[in-house]
């Protein structure tokens, strides 16, 4: 990269290799540098930059960096929204920037974004290797926060793949860092990672809630709010499994207050889906009907398949006795299993429970063998035991 910059600037200045190298390095050494076969010392770079009449920093910056930064920022801006880039589009945009060292934080970010597209394709090893490359870039550049965030993402993926030992190894690496030294975004993501661990593997929902409440207190103190709606939603989900209705409703109300303030449509959809889960769990059909109407309005014009929405529709129709409509929604959910099969265990558990509710109300049972097989791979804990109990009851 540096050699290419030197060569381009030398030709722009209409200098020969001999003219540029004279008194600094040998012509053959310059040729090797320009062709990427040798590295120049800092002293040599300073002298070469002076002769080329440019700042030495211009030799260290890849000219493609500005273009890559623009692409990365555009992808990140739409993440988690209905306008998010398709995986194929992300790969096509970023692939030209993956090879060759750019010495840039944006290349590190490109590695992580490209890796994320491999999750739904089940390409575990390639995903992890790209994250390792990103971590190496961030470490080399001294980008501590980016490095931690990349390690957190790796651990999240490993937990979702049920590779618990590998995940704990990475979590232990992060835990040696004092979380108080982390910036707000990083600290919140780390807390969510630990909550995920509490929920799935420790089967300790009270600890998960306490950690989430500590995270909210931290955000209030710093006056920097990040993923507040998600924090409240996860509290609500934990409270649902603990049968603490008061905490469920309080957490959902707080989440709605925040989304009303921001006006973020995607946040509103997520909160409506969580409130639909509450309505399902407590068989509040009127509330479920209302939340479906809210989601339908917010999703107007979107053709994206959303598993939680389809599941909620199926349960609603099943609960009010509209068996055929319920079955139609459940079949659509079941037939799209490949699209949500790689979601986290919590999401999968929710969709499976919806399908089992459908079965208990006469909407079909062809998905029972798949659910039984998939739930058997869940870690021991309340999610697995709850679903297995439902299956046992259905089977009589």
Domain boundaries, the chain: 2-60
Angle between helices 368-375 and 345-360 (to 10 degrees): 150
Query: Predicted confidence band at 140 (pLDDT cuts at 50, 70, 90)?
Result: confident
DSSP state letter for 84 = P
Nearest-10 crossing angle of helices 65-78, 87-94: 170
| Residue owning tokens 């945009």 | 93
| Predicted local confidence at residue 64, as pLDDT | 80
Give per-residue pLDDT as tens, 242-259: 999 999 999 999 999 999
pLDDT in the model for residue 178: 66
Residue 225 predicted with pLDDT over 90: no
Contact at 8 Å (CB) between 71 and 91? no
pLDDT at 132 over 90: yes
Homologous superfamily (CATH) of 2-60 is lambda repressor-like DNA-binding domains (1.10.260.40)
Q: Give dist(CA 309, CA 306) in Å, integer.
A: 5
pLDDT per residue as tens digits for the range 170-180: 888 887 776 66
Query: Residue 129: which residues within 8 A CB-CB, separation 6 or more?
Result: none
Which pLDDT does position 359 carry in this prediction?
97
Coil, strand or helix: which one is 26? coil
pLDDT tens for 62-91 read 668 888 999 999 999 888 777 889 999 999
What are residue 377's phi and psi, to 5 degrees?
-90, -10
Higher pLDDT: 109 or 197? It is 109
d(CA 220, CA 218): 5
Average pLDDT score over residue span 285-311: 91
Give the predicted TM-score (pTM) of the model.
0.77
Element (H, E) at 37: none
């Amino acid at each position: 990269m540096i050699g290419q910059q030197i060569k381009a600037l030398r030709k722009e200045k209409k200098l020969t290799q001999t003219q540029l190298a004279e008194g600094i390095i040998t012509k053959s050494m310059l040729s090797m540098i320009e062709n990427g076969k040798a590295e120049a010392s800092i002293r040599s770079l300073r002298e070469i930059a002076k002769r080329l009449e440019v700042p030495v920093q211009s030799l260290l910056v890849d000219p493609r960096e500005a273009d890559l930064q623009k692409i990365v920022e555009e992808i990140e801006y739409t993440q988690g929204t209905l306008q998010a880039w398709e995986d194929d589009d992300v790969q096509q945009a970023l692939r030209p920037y993956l090879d060759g060292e750019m010495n840039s934080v944006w290349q590190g970010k490109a590695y992580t974004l490209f890796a994320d597209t491999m999750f739904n394709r089940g390409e575990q090893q390639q995903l992890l290797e790209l994250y390792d490359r990103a971590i190496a870039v961030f470490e080399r550049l001294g980008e501590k926060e980016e490095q931690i965030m990349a390690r957190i993402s790796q651990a999240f993926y490993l937990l979702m793949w049920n590779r618990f030992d590998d995940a704990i190894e990475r979590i232990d690496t992060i835990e040696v860092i004092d979380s108080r030294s982390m910036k707000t975004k990083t600290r919140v993501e780390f807390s969510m990672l630990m909550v995920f661990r509490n929920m799935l593997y420790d089967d300790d929902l009270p600890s998960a809630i306490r950690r989430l409440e500590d995270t909210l207190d931290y955000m209030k103190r710093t006056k920097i709010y990040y993923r507040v709606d998600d924090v409240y939603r996860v509290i609500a989900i934990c409270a649902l499994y603990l049968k603490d209705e008061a905490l469920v409703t309080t957490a959902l109300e707080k989440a709605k207050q925040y989304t009303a303030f921001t006006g973020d449509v995607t946040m509103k959809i997520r909160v409506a889906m969580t409130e639909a889960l509450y309505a399902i769990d407590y068989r509040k059909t009127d509330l479920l009907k209302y939340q479906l109407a809210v989601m339908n309005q917010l999703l107007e014009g979107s053709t994206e398949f959303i598993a939680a929405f389809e599941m909620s529709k199926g349960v609603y129709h099943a609960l009010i006795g509209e068996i055929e409509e319920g079955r139609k929604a459940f079949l659509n959910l079941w037939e799209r299993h490949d699209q949500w099969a790689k979601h986290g265990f919590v999401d999968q558990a929710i969709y499976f429970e919806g399908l089992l509710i459908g079965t208990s109300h006469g909407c079909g049972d062809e998905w029972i063998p798949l659910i039984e097989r998939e739930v058997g791979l869940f870690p021991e804990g309340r999610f697995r035991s709850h679903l297995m109990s439902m299956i046992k009851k259905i089977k009589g």
